[in-house]
């Protein structure tokens, strides 16, 4: 029996809203900030929010498995899977920088069904359902109409493995700084994608992201009329690809050219 996405979205949004309240409560005083990599942080809030989401989402779809950042437990997404980033922008969170969000998506195999990105400190809740459009709170959102790179505001991010990829990162950044209206790096890929979806930025590119970083945001972009692909090489994007480019569609070919396709 096919899922009714509209029935899933209501309790899903409630679970993500509850997670956001925990982030809001902890924001002024993040606890137990630890390193899980050279510059990759985890906090008590990451772990608590992930546990809360897994408990509430399991009640919605007991048959679904989980792919979650702090307790990743499945590699084969052959069926229904909740993909969770409890605190996207943990470094921002640990420093009191407000670009922090929770990202949750529901996939059926490789197909995105629903996604939510909630930035509680900024008071911005984005959500989308497959075939239902994309929204900020209850207002329908759409990508921008910008057609030329020189008029485009572009977001990007830098991977934790920045030393290993520094030459490529700086070469791309040099090109984008010269050929676009400006570059922004808020530090949360899920929020960057949400901002492409609502037209606040015109394009976003990054490398070395995990499925939980982009699963919800990618659906937001496509449901808002945008385009997602890999670059170098250019091909349809699949979760786990090393590079991602999201745009308002009108800019996509030009952005691929700038990125060396």
Helix, coil or strand: residue 14: helix
Both 113 and 171 in one domain: the answer is no
Both 53 and 135 in one domain: the answer is yes
Counting the structural domains of the chain, the total is 2
Q: What percent of the chain has pLDDT over 70?
A: 95
8 A C-beta contact, residue 115 and residue 106? yes
The pLDDT of residue 241 is 95
Interval 8-25 mean pLDDT: 97
What is the CATH classification number for the domain harbouring 160?
A: 3.40.190.80
From 140, 160, 181, give the residue that closes a domain: 140
The pLDDT of residue 32 is 77
Both 11 and 136 in one domain: the answer is yes
pLDDT per position as a tens digit, 186-233:
999 999 999 999 999 999 999 999 999 999 999 999 999 999 999 999
Residue 85 counted as an annotated binding residue: yes
Both 33 and 109 in one domain: the answer is yes
pLDDT per position as a tens digit, 130-182:
999 999 999 999 999 999 999 999 999 998 788 899 999 999 999 999 999 99
- In this prediction the pTM is 0.95
Interval 52-61 mean pLDDT: 97
Both 129 and 170 in one domain: the answer is no
Alpha carbon distance 51, 123 (integer Å):
22
What is the CATH classification number for the domain harbouring 103?
A: 3.30.540.10
From 95, 118, 140, give the residue that closes a domain: 140
The pLDDT of residue 39 is 52
8 A C-beta contact, residue 245 and residue 154? no
Structural element, H or E, at residue 55: helix 44-60
Range of the domain at 193: 149-258
What is the bridge-based pairing of β-strands 65-68 and 227-230?
unpaired
DSSP label at 32? S
Both 238 and 153 in one domain: the answer is yes
Both 77 and 117 in one domain: the answer is yes
Rounded (5°) CA angle 97-43-213? 70
Both 251 and 178 in one domain: the answer is yes
Rounded (5°) CA angle 198-153-235? 75
The pLDDT of residue 34 is 77
Both 14 and 117 in one domain: the answer is yes
Both 174 and 233 in one domain: the answer is yes
Residue 46 counted as an annotated binding residue: no
The pLDDT of residue 2 is 73
Looking up tokens 């400006």 gives 182
Q: Is the pLDDT of residue 73 over 80?
A: no
pLDDT per position as a tens digit, 95-141:
999 999 999 999 999 999 999 999 999 999 999 999 999 999 999 99
Both 80 and 111 in one domain: the answer is yes
Both 124 and 21 in one domain: the answer is yes
Residue 192 counted as an annotated binding residue: no
Residue 138 counted as an annotated binding residue: no
From 140, 167, 183, give the residue that closes a domain: 140
Q: Is the pLDDT of residue 41 over 60?
A: yes
């Amino acid at each position: 029996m096919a899922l009714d996405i509209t029935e899933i979205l209501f309790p899903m949004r409630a679970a993500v809203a509850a997670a956001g309240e925990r982030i809001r409560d902890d924001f002024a005083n993040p606890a137990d900030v630890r390193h899980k990599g050279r510059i990759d942080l985890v906090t008590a809030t990451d772990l608590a929010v992930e546990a809360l989401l897994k408990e509430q989402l399991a009640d919605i779809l007991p048959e679904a498995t989980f792919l979650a950042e702090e307790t990743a437990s499945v590699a084969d997404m052959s069926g229904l899977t909740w993909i969770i980033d409890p605190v996207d922008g943990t470094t921002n969170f640990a420093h009191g920088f407000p670009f922090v969000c929770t990202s949750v998506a529901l996939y059926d195999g490789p197909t995105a069904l629903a996604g939510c990105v909630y930035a509680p400190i900024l008071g911005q809740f984005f959500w989308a359902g497959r075939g239902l459009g994309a929204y900020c709170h209850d207002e329908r959102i759409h990508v921008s109409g910008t057609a030329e790179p020189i008029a485009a505001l572009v977001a990007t991010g830098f991977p934790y493995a920045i030393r290993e990829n520094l030459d490529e990162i700086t070469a791309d950044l040099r090109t984008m700084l010269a050929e676009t209206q400006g570059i922004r790096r808020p530090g949360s890929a899920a929020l960057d994608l949400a901002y492409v979806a609502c037209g606040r930025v015109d394009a976003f590119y990054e490398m070395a992201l995990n499925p939980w970083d982009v699963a919800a945001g990618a659906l937001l972009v496509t449901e808002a009329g945008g385009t997602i692909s890999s670059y170098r090489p250019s091909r349809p994007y699949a979760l786990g690809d090393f590079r991602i480019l999201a745009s308002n569609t009108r800019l996509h070919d030009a952005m691929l050219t700038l990125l060396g396709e």
